């Protein structure tokens, strides 16, 4: 009996009544599959689970990216990420296929009516406050509680709420759609579709995590994103009220919320601190003039000899102030600081180069850096106020 026949027979026997015995059946089917190890997500697709195959392929990008970044050799790290995902698939594919056959069996559909669900209902003020204080982590808690409510009410053997929360990018649309569908049965009509809300939230998450935008954009996304959940929360309220007229938003704070707020609060304070501009204008001036300009000229083929010492002499009074200040920058702040320093340095040297080309069309960047180096002291003293402006 091959794999498909074995699972189809098991599904036919057990589909009509999902007793606690299904756990034993799943456990028996959690055997290592050599084809899953060799072909990974391609084998899952061959078994007819196209959506699951795409999901596994996208999941594989996570360990590939992480190991490819942290491993000394990028290619080795990527290969290790693929290997880990294939091993995971090898242990999961038999069980996953059994569930697939079961959920697509007509007998299973008859045994699994759309049972009513009492969703996780909280006030909008609580959602906004907790989401902001935890930098969006509370959004994941909200998703987890609602997936948990669905699983308990409908005894869904597929995909636990934890996995659906962690990989929310693949499941959040389904959650919104299910909630709207249940609310629609009791007469609630939303002006917003699940797709629009999910797309908006996903876009905000991408913008918030992108380094291409100023810091205030990050905070704007954090403050706005909880409002995306409001239409879904209205649907939950309508659904719960229809099932129980006495239903009210949850007021009691759970232990999970306390832990999440403590962890999120620490992250919030750290992020507020790290998103401030560089602590000291003088720190930027010193880095920009003593390191940034010489480094940029070195990249263009000229090593400055006079400029670094001249910059140190001109800026010497600032060093004591900077050294006495708190200069424990976070890694993210240090990265932004270095990028700003490099950007200013490139802009400064390039502007000097373009000005010189107006009078000497064939001048090279190396020659421009040589002229800066030869006249370092005079340039630094005369245009220091302009450097201060750039540093801001």
| pLDDT digit string, tens, across residues 224-233 | 889 999 999 9
What pLDDT, on the 0 to 100 scale, is given for residue 279?
A: 43
Q: In the predicted model, what is the mean pLDDT of residues 327-332?
A: 58
pTM: 0.51
| pLDDT digit string, tens, across residues 334-361 | 677 677 777 777 877 888 888 888 888 8
Whether the pLDDT of residue 273 is over 60: the answer is no
Ramachandran area for residue 360 (φ above 0: left; ψ -120 to 50: alpha; else beta): beta
Is residue 34 within 8 Å of residue 90, measured between CB atoms? Answer: yes
Q: How confident is the model at residue 212 (pLDDT cuts 50, 70, 90)?
A: low
Q: For residues 261 and 265, what is the distance between their CA atoms, to the nearest angstrom?
A: 6
| pLDDT digit string, tens, across residues 111-146 | 445 678 889 999 999 999 888 888 888 999 999 999
- Where is pLDDT greater, at 160 or 229? 229
How many Cβ atoms sit within 10 Å of the Cβ of residue 225?
22
Q: For residues 128 and 216, what is the distance between their CA atoms, to the nearest angstrom?
A: 18
In Å, what is the CA distance from 143 to each residue of 95, 155, 253? 25, 17, 16
By CB atoms closer than 10 A (0-12, 13-18, 19+), residue 98 is: buried
Please give, one letter per residue, the 3-state secondary structure of the chain.
Answer: CCHHHHHHHHHHHHCCCCCCHHHHHHHHCCCCCHHHHHHCHHHHHHCCCHHHHHHHHHHHHHHHHHHHHHCCCHHHHHHHHHHHHHHHHHHHHHHHHHHHHHHCCHHHHHHCCCCCCCCCCCCHHHHHHHHHHCCCHHHHHHHHHHHHHHHHHHCCCCCCHHHHHHCHHHHHHHHHHHHHHHHHHCCCCCCCCHHHHHHHHHHHHHHHHCCCCCHHHHHHHHHHHHHHHHHHHHHHHHHHHHHCCCCCCCCCCCHHHHHHHHHHHHHHHHHHHHCCCCCCHHHHHHHHHHHHHHHHHHHCCCCCCCHHHHHHHHHHHHHHHHHHCCCCCCHHHHHHHHHHHHHHHHHHHHHHHHHHHHHCCCCCHHHHHHHHHHCHHHHHHHCHHHHHHHHC
What pLDDT, on the 0 to 100 scale, is given for residue 228?
A: 92
Whether the pLDDT of residue 288 is over 60: the answer is yes
What pLDDT, on the 0 to 100 scale, is given for residue 214?
A: 63
Q: In the predicted model, what is the mean pLDDT of residues 302-317?
A: 80
Whether the pLDDT of residue 28 is over 80: the answer is no
What pLDDT, on the 0 to 100 scale, is given for residue 362?
A: 83
| pLDDT digit string, tens, across residues 236-267 | 999 999 988 888 888 888 787 888 788 877 77
Token look-up 């401030």 returns 276
Whether the pLDDT of residue 24 is over 70: the answer is no
Q: How confident is the model at residue 91 (pLDDT cuts 50, 70, 90)?
A: confident
Whether the pLDDT of residue 301 is over 80: the answer is yes
Is residue 116 within 8 Å of residue 127, measured between CB atoms? Answer: no
């Amino acid at each position: 009996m091959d794999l498909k026949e074995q699972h189809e027979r098991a599904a036919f026997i057990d589909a009509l009544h999902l007793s606690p015995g299904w756990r034993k059946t799943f456990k028996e089917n959690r055997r290592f599959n050599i084809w899953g190890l060799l072909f990974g997500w391609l084998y899952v697709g061959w078994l007819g689970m196209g959506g699951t195959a795409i999901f596994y392929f996208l999941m594989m990008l996570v360990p590939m990216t992480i190991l490819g970044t942290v491993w000394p050799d990028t290619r080795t790290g990527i290969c290790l990420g693929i290997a880990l995902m294939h091993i995971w698939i090898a242990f999961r594919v038999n069980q996953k296929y059994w569930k697939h056959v079961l959920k697509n069996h007509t007998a299973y559909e008859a045994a699994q009516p759309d049972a009513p669900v009492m969703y996780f209902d909280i006030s909008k003020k609580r959602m906004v406050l907790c989401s902001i204080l935890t930098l969006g982590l509370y959004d994941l808690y909200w998703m987890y509680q609602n997936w948990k409510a669905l699983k308990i009410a409908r005894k869904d053997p597929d995909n636990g709420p934890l996995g659906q929360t962690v990989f929310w990018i693949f499941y959040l649309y389904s959650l919104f759609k299910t909630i709207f569908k249940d609310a629609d049965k009791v007469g609630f009509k939303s002006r917003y579709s699940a797709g629009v809300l999910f797309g908006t939230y996903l876009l905000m998450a991408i913008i918030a995590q992108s380094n291409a935008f100023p810091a205030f954009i990050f905070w704007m996304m954090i403050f706005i994103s909880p409002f995306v959940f409001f239409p879904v929360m209205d649907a939950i309220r309508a659904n719960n009220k229809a099932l129980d007229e006495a239903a009210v938003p949850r007021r009691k704070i759970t232990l999970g919320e306390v832990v999440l707020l403590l962890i999120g609060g620490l992250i919030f304070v750290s992020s507020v601190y790290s998103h401030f501009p560089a602590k000291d204008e003088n720190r930027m001036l010193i880095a920009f003039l003593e390191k940034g300009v010489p480094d940029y000229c070195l990249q263009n083929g000229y090593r400055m000899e006079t400029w670094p010492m001249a910059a140190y002499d001109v800026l010497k009074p600032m060093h004591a102030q900077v050294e006495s200040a708190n200069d424990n920058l976070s890694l993210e702040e240090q990265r932004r600081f270095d990028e700003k320093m490099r950007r200013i340095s490139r802009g400064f040297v390039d502007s000097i180069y373009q000005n010189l080309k107006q009078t000497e069309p064939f001048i090279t960047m190396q020659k421009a850096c040589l002229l800066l180096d030869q006249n370092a002291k005079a340039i630094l003293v005369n245009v220091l106020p302009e450097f201060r402006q750039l540093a801001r």
